[in-house]
Every structure is written in C-alpha cells, then in structure tokens.
Amino acid sequence: MIQLDSDSVFQTVFDKAPSLTAILTPEGEIYAVNQSFIALSGSERDDLINNPYWDLPCWIHSDEMQNRILFAIEEAAITSQTVRFEAQYKDLNGTINDLDLKIKPVFNSADIDQIEYYIAYGYNVTELVKVRRALSNQ
C-alpha cells in the first residue's frame, strides 16, 4: 500500500489543478497560490503572498476589474455565498483573456459567522467567449 503524506498530497493536487487558484485571507490578501496562477502572473510565489488579490498585475489593466474583484470579495462575505462572474485578466504577453472566476468564503468551524479564508478560483474561458461572440454575430 502506498503511504502518502497528506500535506504533500494536498500541495501536489493544489499545484497541479488546472484552475487558477488563490487562497485569500479574510482581508482579501493572498495567502497561497497554485502553480497555474504563478504561471499566469509571471511572478514568484513569494512576490504574490500578502498582496491584495485585486492589486495583482493581471488585474491592474482595469480599475473596473479591480473594483469588481474587491466588491465580489465583499459580496461573498455579506451573503455567505460563492460569487461568480466573468473577469478579464492580462497575460504575460499583454493579451486580455476571459476568466470564469468564483470567490468562495470558507467559514471557521467553531464560529460559523467568521470567515476563515476565501478560495478564489477560475478557468480561462477565452475561447468559449470568442465562440459565443461569433455565434451572436451571425
């Protein structure tokens, strides 16, 4: 039988996940990011940690996008629900891409009114958005 260290298994699964995933503090600062997110950002993991999620280089192309992310975190806190929306991010080549982004609050098991952290995760849906636009223009 294979013996697996649960911390290393978690880290491997987290890093290999195809979604762009960040774990955020209750204040919206980055606590952890997966490898997919690091590849998107072009930054080192340590350069991303402790920064507000909405202030990352991939979002700063648009004040509107930064505000939408900040408001989504606040909405998730107020409603205790996952907030989902289409976001646009700038990749390392300067291309704007579409992302199906979700921000999920996770609550403290001892105090269900206290947010322990948020999980922000998304998938690149740029090609899907292009197809939708092309079909709507026919």
Phi, psi of 49 (to 5 degrees): -60, 140
**Distance of alpha carbon 103 from alpha carbon 121, whole angstroms:** 7
Residue 76: how many other CB atoms lie within 10 Å: 24
pLDDT band at 64 (very low <50, low <70, confident <90, very high): very high
DSSP code of residue 87: E
**pLDDT at residue number 10:** 74
Mean pLDDT of 76-85: 96
Mapping DSSP to helix (H, G, I), strand (E, B) and coil, where does residue 118 land? strand
Homologous superfamily of 6-136: PAS domain (3.30.450.20)
pTM of the model: 0.86
**Averaged pLDDT, 102-126:** 91
Q: What is the per-residue pLDDT across 2-42, written as a single tens digit (0 to 9) for each? A: 455 677 777 778 777 878 999 999 999 999 999 988 888 88
